């Protein structure tokens, strides 16, 4: 988080209760602000070293992920992933969105909460996971990775269930507006990046 924050001097006016309230981020903004360079930026007030004698309030410039339309709900067919790139078209940005056949998932959107999106890059050594989506019974996984067999559970935020990897598969955060599905952030670090917004 420290990489995202550009500190600026604070005037007396900014120490008002109103300004202080601006640091109350909602969940979506909190998730969106977990990146580096950005398409959107805004300013909030934050308290450093809260509760200590060194506590001080600063203005901080935060930058967020782009909001990118990646699909429509009506075009998604059960178990047929659609590919897209996010948050940019750079290195390791390949990802997919899939409707998992009425099986609810963490972070899922749509009426059945069964629409999810994930990176295609294995978190171990970047093995390509394209074409590895599988559904068996209630299981919905990505894998096995062709390099060292890692498999990720797409119902549970891409948690690793077998293989060499030790980090979950990055999940693309989704929002629905009407029939449109937007990517609005990423939970987890894309393989091969210092931060998700620097390709």
Q: Are 186 and 121 contacting, i.e. CB atoms less than 8 angstroms apart?
A: no
User: How far is C-alpha 47 from the geometric centre of its chain's CA atoms?
Assistant: 25
Using the contact rule CB under 6 A, the part of the chain among 80-88, 96-104, 159-167, 168-176 near ligand FES is: 159-167
Beta bridge partners of 42: 62
Q: Considering just the CA atoms, what is the radius of gyration of the chain in Å?
A: 19
Which of 110/126 has CB closer to ligand FES?
A: 126
Using the contact rule CB under 6 A, the part of the chain among 43-51, 74-82, 133-141, 162-170 near ligand FES is: 162-170
Backbone angles phi, psi at 13, to 5 degrees: -60, -35
92: nearest Cα among 59, 125, 64, 60: 125
Taking CB under 6 A as the criterion, the residue among 34, 45, 132, 150 binding ligand FES is: 150
Taking CB under 6 A as the criterion, the residue among 164, 168, 189, 199 binding ligand FES is: 164
The answer to whether residue 124 is catalytic is: yes
CB of 195 to ligand FES, least distance (A): 21
Report the distance separating Cα 124 and Cα 145, nearest Å: 9
Using the contact rule CB under 6 A, the part of the chain among 20-28, 45-53, 99-107, 160-168 near ligand FES is: 160-168
Q: x/- string (CB under 6 A) for ligand FES, residues 120-139? A: --x-xxxx------------
Q: Are 151 and 162 contacting, i.e. CB atoms less than 8 angstroms apart?
A: yes
Residue 188 as a binder of ligand FES (CB under 6 A): the answer is: no
Which of 85/164 has CB closer to ligand FES?
A: 164
Q: Are 151 and 67 contacting, i.e. CB atoms less than 8 angstroms apart?
A: no
The answer to whether residue 148 is catalytic is: yes
Active-site residue set: 124, 148
């Amino acid at each position: 988080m420290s990489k995202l924050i550009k500190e600026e001097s604070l005037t007396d006016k900014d120490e008002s209760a109103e300004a202080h309230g601006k640091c109350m981020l909602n969940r979506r903004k909190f998730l969106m602000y977990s990146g580096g360079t950005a398409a959107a930026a805004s300013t909030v007030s934050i308290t450093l070293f809260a509760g200590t004698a060194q506590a001080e309030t600063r203005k901080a410039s935060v930058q967020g992920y782009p909001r990118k339309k990646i699909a429509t709900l009506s075009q998604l067919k059960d178990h047929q992933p659609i590919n897209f790139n996010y948050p940019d078209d750079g290195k390791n940005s390949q990802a997919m969105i899939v409707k998992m056949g009425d099986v609810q998932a963490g972070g899922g959107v749509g009426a059945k909460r069964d629409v999810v999106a994930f990176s295609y890059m294995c978190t171990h050594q970047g093995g390509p996971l394209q074409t590895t989506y599988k559904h068996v019974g209630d299981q919905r996984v990505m894998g096995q990775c062709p390099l060292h067999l890692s498999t990720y559970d797409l119902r549970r935020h891409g948690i690793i269930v077998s293989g060499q990897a030790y980090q979950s598969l990055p999940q693309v955060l989704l929002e629905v507006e009407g029939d449109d599905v937007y990517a609005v952030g990423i939970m987890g670090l894309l393989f091969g990046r210092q931060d998700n917004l620097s390709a």
